[in-house]
A and B are shown apart, each in its own frame.
Chain A
């Protein structure tokens, strides 16, 4: 049959063929049963090198490398079926693409007495169509090969697998612990941040109240109101400290404490806090190595532990035993504690709260210290995370023993003070409240209210005051007025250039610089950080007139340079 007549006869069909197949990324060929090409879509033009206008009448067998007989037989079968018949085609010339294609062919115009059948062949790349069969075979071969290998190396593999599993197990445990630590850290950062801002506000409240009180006659009727403001503000400042406890950074009133004494002092309060069915036993030897700690924090964690113990006992009868003691801890022992952040080997004083309550399963135990983890209806899930934070702040460790149905024992380890000084480590106030300064103080703080209140206090103490909003301004001001400035009152936590860096810069300008640091963090942390760096003093925020006077007085006395 002449190509031309096909074109005429099937003009509409060819038009349709292009309309539907040209947008399609797969190659389509319209071909007669005898293998004469009628039309090719755009994708097929690219594959074969044929052109739309000149392809008609060319032999498909000239463009593919399949055997002509096979091709004809395939077209022949396709010509018989409306349903697609699977086949394969290898193009001779293709752009960059593969040569081999799977295809599906079906009749579009069946054979009739005056026309040969027209077939559409639609090509798919072998890999794209996913010759699932071949892929499956290949997989099976791989599997079999792997199996044989496995069988021959079974022993070696077994130990290798065991080793890997152990490594993975260890890694998982480590990750878990890190996760915990990270959580606590973010909570700490949050608490620290809140405490910082809060302290600055309290500073304004407390400072202004203080200034007002100083100006009031002793018999003034507004005095009680302002005293009340002061009292409440101090309570708020206390709360701030508790928040910092979560971060494990704030030991505020560090004293050498005998745990046994502290416990026995609390006994009465603990008795009334536990359930009536629980018997509270104390096992507290007298001559216990003391520890450095904030007693109010210790009371808080003892309370948390004992209440948990009582809640675990619930309405049944049970015993809560609170014990203290001392133990020499080596690395192996410390490594088995929950909080092993490179704790130092040595003598530890411990506090253990054991109960005969319902105990914990493994899952609960794993989450015990998670902030907000609770299994109780009204629980907040903060008790144990506070314990963790506080123990951490003491560089201590925690051991947890628990068995479902049997009970729980939680042991806290605190480093014992090597050569303990009895009583308060802090020196009492030195001043008599009458000391007056003179000269110039540079007040560096990023908080506006702190600058305002601080300036008033300092002026009241007899100083000229310069202020700076941040570290770099502070350094600039100090450079300009080095000779005049007798004292710098420097905030530790500031954006960009913090107190530490500012201090360093000022020391570079003059090694003589007299700096008092102020911070919401505790004195011990800060003074440890600045040990041996020539810090003249530290004052914890929020501060009031008297402590400020004392601190400045001491700073001037310590560094003999005469004021002014």
Chain B
């Protein structure tokens, strides 16, 4: 048997998805190690925002609306995460905020120890909410990356005294937004 055949029959868990996730983990890890968490979070936020805009536009186009409503926004967040193999669910919700939970990370175990990757979630959420509702504050209360069993993400939909005192990232709507 030729070497080529032998190799292709080996049972190694190498496929495109794992390859890409590992790649991202390594990129984020290198960034964190080299420039430190804060700067790394900045770079990853930039990436997250562009992805957030891209996803937002996909939904708006497919739903054929100018802007998403508050309910639509939350449904989009749940839908998008399940599409990319997360399993986000609503833990609690009122008109000012929503708390989401998640037990499997789209990056799988590759995220553990690399909290800068969570900036992707924060920014994607933040952009989609802020572009449609004009404001968002995303608080990563618990994350798998930091060793918690599941993620707990609190999202404020409006500025409020409660939002002000919470530790998180604020996002503002822009002139391009559809709100």
Would you call B175 and A34 a contact (CB within 8 A)? yes
Contacts of B45 in A (CB 8 A): 81, 83, 85
How far does the Cβ of B89 sit from chain A's closest Cβ, in whole Å? 27
Would you call B42 and A84 a contact (CB within 8 A)? yes
Contacts of A85 in B (CB 8 A): 42, 45-46, 49
- Which of the candidate stretches B8-16, B100-108, B144-152, B165-173 sits at the interface with the other chain? B165-173
User: With an 8 A cutoff between CB atoms, is B43 at the interface?
Assistant: yes
User: With an 8 A cutoff between CB atoms, is A33 at the interface?
Assistant: yes
User: With an 8 A cutoff between CB atoms, is B66 at the interface?
Assistant: no
User: With an 8 A cutoff between CB atoms, is A381 at the interface?
Assistant: no
Would you call B175 and A111 a contact (CB within 8 A)? yes
A90-111: CB near B (< 8 Å → 1, else 0) gives: 0000000000000010010011
- Considering residues A80, A82, A104, A136, which has the most beta carbons from chain B within 10 angstroms of its beta carbon? A80
- Give A136 to B174 CA distance when docked, in angstroms: 36
How far does the Cβ of B46 sit from chain A's closest Cβ, in whole Å? 6
Within residues 61 to 84 of chain A, which ones have a CB less than 8 A from any CB in chain B?
73, 76-77, 79-84
How far does the Cβ of A112 sit from chain B's closest Cβ, in whole Å? 9
Contacts of B127 in A (CB 8 A): 80
How far does the Cβ of B42 sit from chain A's closest Cβ, in whole Å? 5
- Give A85 to B45 CA distance when docked, in angstroms: 8
Contacts of A84 in B (CB 8 A): 42
- Give A77 to B34 CA distance when docked, in angstroms: 24
Would you call B39 and A86 a contact (CB within 8 A)? yes
How far does the Cβ of B2 sit from chain A's closest Cβ, in whole Å? 32
User: With an 8 A cutoff between CB atoms, is B176 at the interface?
Assistant: yes
Contacts of B174 in A (CB 8 A): 33, 76, 79-80, 111, 117
Size band of the B side of the interface?
20 to 34
B57-99: CB near A (< 8 Å → 1, else 0) gives: 0000000000000000000000000000000000000000000
- Give A357 to B70 CA distance when docked, in angstroms: 93
- Give A79 to B126 CA distance when docked, in angstroms: 13
Contacts of A33 in B (CB 8 A): 174-175
Would you call B130 and A80 a contact (CB within 8 A)? yes
The one of B34, B43, B49, B172 that contacts A107, using a Cβ cutoff of 8 Å:
B172
How far does the Cβ of A298 sit from chain B's closest Cβ, in whole Å? 70
Contacts of B176 in A (CB 8 A): 76
The one of B31, B49, B169 that contacts A77, using a Cβ cutoff of 8 Å:
B49
Which residue of chain A lies nearest to B33 when distances are taken between CB atoms in the complex?
A136
- Give A34 to B174 CA distance when docked, in angstroms: 10
User: With an 8 A cutoff between CB atoms, is A116 at the interface?
Assistant: yes
Interface of B is mostly: helix
How far does the Cβ of A113 sit from chain B's closest Cβ, in whole Å? 9
How far does the Cβ of B172 sit from chain A's closest Cβ, in whole Å? 4
How far does the Cβ of B29 sit from chain A's closest Cβ, in whole Å? 13
- Considering residues B49, B127, B134, B175, which has the most beta carbons from chain A within 10 angstroms of its beta carbon? B175
- Give A563 to B129 CA distance when docked, in angstroms: 122
- Give A250 to B49 CA distance when docked, in angstroms: 88
How far does the Cβ of B175 sit from chain A's closest Cβ, in whole Å? 5
User: With an 8 A cutoff between CB atoms, is A132 at the interface?
Assistant: yes
User: With an 8 A cutoff between CB atoms, is B1 at the interface?
Assistant: no
How far does the Cβ of B107 sit from chain A's closest Cβ, in whole Å? 22
User: With an 8 A cutoff between CB atoms, is A219 at the interface?
Assistant: no
- Considering residues A33, A81, A84, A116, which has the most beta carbons from chain B within 10 angstroms of its beta carbon? A81
Within residues 137 to 179 of chain B, which ones have a CB less than 8 A from any CB in chain A?
169-177
Would you call B46 and A77 a contact (CB within 8 A)? yes
Which residue of chain B lies nearest to A72 when distances are taken between CB atoms in the complex?
B176
Would you call B172 and A132 a contact (CB within 8 A)? no
- Give A136 to B127 CA distance when docked, in angstroms: 32
Contacts of B177 in A (CB 8 A): 111
User: With an 8 A cutoff between CB atoms, is A225 at the interface?
Assistant: no
User: With an 8 A cutoff between CB atoms, is A133 at the interface?
Assistant: yes
User: With an 8 A cutoff between CB atoms, is B35 at the interface?
Assistant: yes
Within residues 24 to 60 of chain B, which ones have a CB less than 8 A from any CB in chain A?
31, 34-35, 39, 42-43, 45-46, 49-50
Which residue of chain B lies nearest to A32 when distances are taken between CB atoms in the complex?
B175
Contacts of A80 in B (CB 8 A): 49, 126-127, 130, 171-174
Which residue of chain A lies nearest to B172 when distances are taken between CB atoms in the complex?
A110
Contacts of A77 in B (CB 8 A): 46, 49-50
Would you call A79 and B172 a contact (CB within 8 A)? yes
How far does the Cβ of A47 sit from chain B's closest Cβ, in whole Å? 22
Would you call B34 and A82 a contact (CB within 8 A)? no
The one of A82, A111, A133, A136 that contacts B173, using a Cβ cutoff of 8 Å:
A111
How far does the Cβ of A34 sit from chain B's closest Cβ, in whole Å? 7
Would you call B46 and A83 a contact (CB within 8 A)? no
Would you call B34 and A86 a contact (CB within 8 A)? no
Contacts of A117 in B (CB 8 A): 172, 174-175
Which residue of chain A lies nearest to B169 when distances are taken between CB atoms in the complex?
A83
Would you call B173 and A83 a contact (CB within 8 A)? no
Which residue of chain B lies nearest to A79 when distances are taken between CB atoms in the complex?
B174
How far does the Cβ of B59 sit from chain A's closest Cβ, in whole Å? 18
Which residue of chain A lies nearest to B36 when distances are taken between CB atoms in the complex?
A132
Contacts of B46 in A (CB 8 A): 77, 85-87
- Considering residues A82, A85, A111, which has the most beta carbons from chain B within 10 angstroms of its beta carbon? A111
- Give A83 to B172 CA distance when docked, in angstroms: 11
Which residue of chain A lies nearest to B136 when distances are taken between CB atoms in the complex?
A80
Contacts of A34 in B (CB 8 A): 175
How far does the Cβ of A133 sit from chain B's closest Cβ, in whole Å? 6
Would you call B42 and A86 a contact (CB within 8 A)? yes
Contacts of B126 in A (CB 8 A): 80
The one of A79, A81, A83, A132 that contacts B35, using a Cβ cutoff of 8 Å:
A132
- Give A83 to B37 CA distance when docked, in angstroms: 14
- Give A73 to B176 CA distance when docked, in angstroms: 10
- Give A132 to B34 CA distance when docked, in angstroms: 7
Would you call B169 and A133 a contact (CB within 8 A)? no
- Give A504 to B39 CA distance when docked, in angstroms: 79
Would you call A86 and B171 a contact (CB within 8 A)? no
Contacts of A82 in B (CB 8 A): 169-170, 172
- Considering residues A84, A86, A104, A132, which has the most beta carbons from chain B within 10 angstroms of its beta carbon? A86
- Give A110 to B172 CA distance when docked, in angstroms: 6
How far does the Cβ of B48 sit from chain A's closest Cβ, in whole Å? 10
Contacts of A87 in B (CB 8 A): 46
What are some 15 contacts across the A-B interface (CB < 8 A)?
A: A76-B174, A76-B176, A77-B46, A77-B50, A79-B172, A79-B175, A80-B127, A80-B172, A80-B174, A81-B171, A110-B173, A111-B172, A111-B173, A117-B172, A133-B34
3 smallest CB-CB distances across A and B, nearest first, come from A110-B172, A86-B42, A79-B174
> A residues touching B (Cβ–Cβ < 8 Å)?
33-34, 73, 76-77, 79-87, 104, 107, 110-111, 116-117, 132-133, 136
Q: Knowing that A80-B49, A80-B172, A107-B172 touch, tell me 9 more A-B residue pairs with CB under 8 angstroms.
A: A33-B174, A77-B50, A80-B126, A81-B45, A85-B42, A111-B134, A116-B175, A117-B174, A136-B34
